Structure 1
Amino acid sequence: MPATDTSVARRFGRLLRAGLGRPSRGAAVAWVPLAAVICGLFTGALASRAAWETSRPQPDRAEAAAILTEVFPGHDLGDIDTPPALFVVYGHALRLNTVKTLVFGDGGEYQESATGATAFGAPPVPAEQIVAVAQERLTGAGWRVYAPQVSGGFTCADKMCATPQAITNTTVIARRGDTILNASISTQTAFDATYLSVELHRAPPPLVVPAGVLGTLLGAVAGWLVFGWVSRRVEGRRRRSPVNILIGVTVVLWWLPVLLAAPQLLRHHLGEPHPAWHPFWEWLGQPAASLLFLVGAVCTALALALAVPRSASSPTD
């Protein structure tokens, strides 16, 4: 091959390696893979949230009333409360005026909604009987019933709480098809307190898992290409240090919530029955840590701006 052709081939090879996102030397060898993986996780979470839109709406009053009458006969559950959207913040649909709530501390309140009903006062029959009847009726109606969870506590008979009373709360969880039932039965006897609380909500639709997996893979590849390109664009230039610092800050801000939230959620899942896993984004600490995500995104944007070719720049720029 002529020398000229060899030179062109080598130059093309260098451009191709740079375009494929192979990180340069130094700190980039560490932060490019970490940034690529977290980009994949964020993209997968976003894709899984989009797939949630294929879910059926939460049970309406007619569906909820039929279930409640069948499972809890003889209990006055009052009005059935239906949610305004599939996911809510403090019971309200997400709107532009609630974005501030997500970003500044209350992002954990963004969660799947539920159709609910409650019964007040003293239980008409012992709480143990309510639990036993509910389990029997759920099983007979084709629900998969999980082991009940029992916890203890105290309530006050008067405002001064001079005579605290021990109470027991039992949680019954069941699933049939894509519908999940959570019921809490209490032994409390106060007329203005709740002895029975029931929530009905949908399980994740089938598309959530494949959408999350595909989104994670595509996002990781895109992250590798982008961050690898950035690292090679600033290699041997004065802009290398600030870019490394900016991307390093991004990696820390994006990974820290994952390292805190994932182990906590795993313990939570192992500690009690779950008919369905928590949404993908909650394992990443989102949107509870959305402020950290946004700061990291700004750092990434600045790093990209520094890496963009400048026609008037010197080679050491």
Structure 2
Amino acid sequence: MADPLARRYRRLLIAYPRAYRRARGDELLGALLEAAPSDRTRPTPRETVDLLRHGLRARLGRPASRSVVAWAILTAVISGVFAAAFASRAAWETARPLPRPAEARAMLAEIVPGQEFTDVTDAPALFVIYGQPLGWEAADDMLLGDGGEYAQAGVGGATPLPAGTSPAEMVARIHTNLRAHGWTTYPDLTHDMYGCVGPPCDPTAIPVGTTVTARRGDTVFTVDVNPTYTGNPGALWATFQRAAPIAVRPAALAGGLAGAVVAFFLFGWASRRTEGGHPVGGLVKLLTGVALFLWWVPAVLAAPTMLWHHFAEPHPSWHPMWEWLGQPTFSLFFVVGCGAALLAVALAAAAAPAPRRPEAPVSRGVAGS
């Protein structure tokens, strides 16, 4: 073990189960050292990948399988990110309560002095669906297509655009007042007030609204400055929300790592119990595949969309992590996937464990390298 190459090979052999290392570890190490040139001090990339791949196959109880490691990694990754999302949601509870109406009115008086905002009321919760806290009565909405309505609540109100003031003048005034009171402003976002209907249609004639975004501490402020156009008077719609609290990131990291590790070992345990043509092995594989499909598809579809959305618009505080996974919009997929995964674990637990193989085969690539 004074040889640096031997020490590094030993570290890689940790990928193999302990029983295998005790029975064959010295033999495999000797073969590796004998095949290595005298001037080599580190394992080659091929040897590293080969040892890790075959060691993990043995650990997962499928030493002859070419795909079990990939399935285990897919399971660990998606389980880890879901665990991170749940942990981040729990950490959101450390956020300060939303501003009360009196505080919101005081801040609005600084930003838009002389304007009286209406409908400034308390928010019922930090996150709401259709304006109400999440509860069992909202289960149908969450599971049957309206889960996207679950979002951060805000406190704010509306006021008419002052007579004789153009939207551009109001936007400039808001920016000046925000900076004067310690807010950090972000690039404005413009949007058409309605879609182009035609032909004929002149896109340049469509009135344009402007969204101003700013942040001060853990408070995020947005105001839509809408112009006057046919049948609609100009108005300001303002909202205060909380930015993600500091605890969200460390909680997500810790939860994600814990979830990935637990899922990997649980996958390995179920794999070992149902190896070798076990009667329930095929069903456990099918249920695991169903769960992974139902978990991965929404995440793969949602993540690029959310990334594009965040680059296209200013975000003082990014959207919560679960939205990057397509949740709770696709919560029915998640719930059914959880049911399939739990059934697979239950079948593996109820089944008699398959006879243990005496040893894992040595990789041809390693033995011949």
Identify the TM-score tier after normalising by the shorter chain: 0.7 to 0.9
Structural mapping, 1:233-312, within 5 Å: 233-236=273-276, 237-310=278-351
Structural mapping, 1:150-229, within 5 Å: 150-154=190-194, 166-189=206-229, 193=233, 195-229=235-269
Name the larger-Rg structure.
2
Select the residue among 26, 34, 40 that pairs with 2:74.
Answer: 34
Task: Name the structure 2 match of 1:139.
Answer: 179
Provide the C-alpha distance between the structure 1 equivalents of 2:319 and 2:307, rounded to a whole number of angstroms: 10
Task: Name the structure 1 match of 2:110.
Answer: 70
- Identical pairs, percent: 41
1:276-307 deviation digits (Å, cap 9, x = unpaired): 11101111111111100111111111211221
Select the residue among 42, 57, 60 that pairs with 1:22.
Answer: 60
The Cα of 1:120 is off from its aligned counterpart by: 3.8
Provide the C-alpha distance between the structure 2 equivalents of 1:259 and 1:123, rounded to a whole number of angstroms: 48
1:176-218 deviation digits (Å, cap 9, x = unpaired): 0000000000112567656110000100110000000110000
Provide the C-alpha distance between the structure 2 equivalents of 1:131 and 1:254, rounded to a whole number of angstroms: 43
The answer as to whether partners of 1:40 and 1:217 remain within 8 angstroms in 2 is: yes
- After TM superposition, the structure 1 stretch with the greater mean CA deviation from structure 2, 83-92 or 239-248, is 239-248
- After TM superposition, the structure 1 stretch with the greater mean CA deviation from structure 2, 114-123 or 76-85, is 114-123
Call closer, same or farther: CA 1:21–1:169 in 2, change over 3 Å: farther
The answer as to whether partners of 1:77 and 1:117 remain within 8 angstroms in 2 is: yes
Call closer, same or farther: CA 1:47–1:281 in 2, change over 3 Å: same
The Cα of 1:314 is off from its aligned counterpart by: 8.4
Call closer, same or farther: CA 1:203–1:60 in 2, change over 3 Å: same
The answer as to whether partners of 1:57 and 1:86 remain within 8 angstroms in 2 is: yes
1:61-118 deviation digits (Å, cap 9, x = unpaired): 1110011111112323223132100000011111111122111111111111000201
Matched position secondary structure for 1:274:
coil
The answer as to whether partners of 1:21 and 1:226 remain within 8 angstroms in 2 is: no
The answer as to whether partners of 2:227 and 2:234 remain within 8 angstroms in 1 is: no
The answer as to whether partners of 1:39 and 1:219 remain within 8 angstroms in 2 is: yes
The Cα of 1:257 is off from its aligned counterpart by: 0.7
The amino acid across from 2:242 in the alignment is R
Structural mapping, 1:107-146, within 5 Å: 107-120=147-160, 123-146=163-186
The answer as to whether partners of 1:253 and 1:296 remain within 8 angstroms in 2 is: yes
Provide the C-alpha distance between the structure 1 equivalents of 2:90 and 2:76, rounded to a whole number of angstroms: 21
The answer as to whether partners of 1:85 and 1:113 remain within 8 angstroms in 2 is: yes
The amino acid across from 1:218 in the alignment is A
Provide the C-alpha distance between the structure 2 equivalents of 1:243 and 1:194, rounded to a whole number of angstroms: 60
The Cα of 1:121 is off from its aligned counterpart by: 6.7
Call closer, same or farther: CA 1:105–1:220 in 2, change over 3 Å: same
The answer as to whether partners of 2:221 and 2:241 remain within 8 angstroms in 1 is: yes
Call closer, same or farther: CA 1:13–1:116 in 2, change over 3 Å: farther
Matched position secondary structure for 1:131:
helix
The answer as to whether partners of 2:287 and 2:340 remain within 8 angstroms in 1 is: yes
The Cα of 1:138 is off from its aligned counterpart by: 0.2
Matched position secondary structure for 1:105:
coil
1:252-293 deviation digits (Å, cap 9, x = unpaired): 110111101100000000111110111011111111111001
Q: How many residues align?
A: 297
The answer as to whether partners of 1:21 and 1:224 remain within 8 angstroms in 2 is: no
TM-score w.r.t. structure 1 length? 0.86
The answer as to whether partners of 1:121 and 1:189 remain within 8 angstroms in 2 is: no
- After TM superposition, the structure 1 stretch with the greater mean CA deviation from structure 2, 236-245 or 138-147, is 236-245
Provide the C-alpha distance between the structure 1 equivalents of 2:320 and 2:125, rounded to a whole number of angstroms: 16
Provide the C-alpha distance between the structure 1 equivalents of 2:314 and 2:158, rounded to a whole number of angstroms: 22
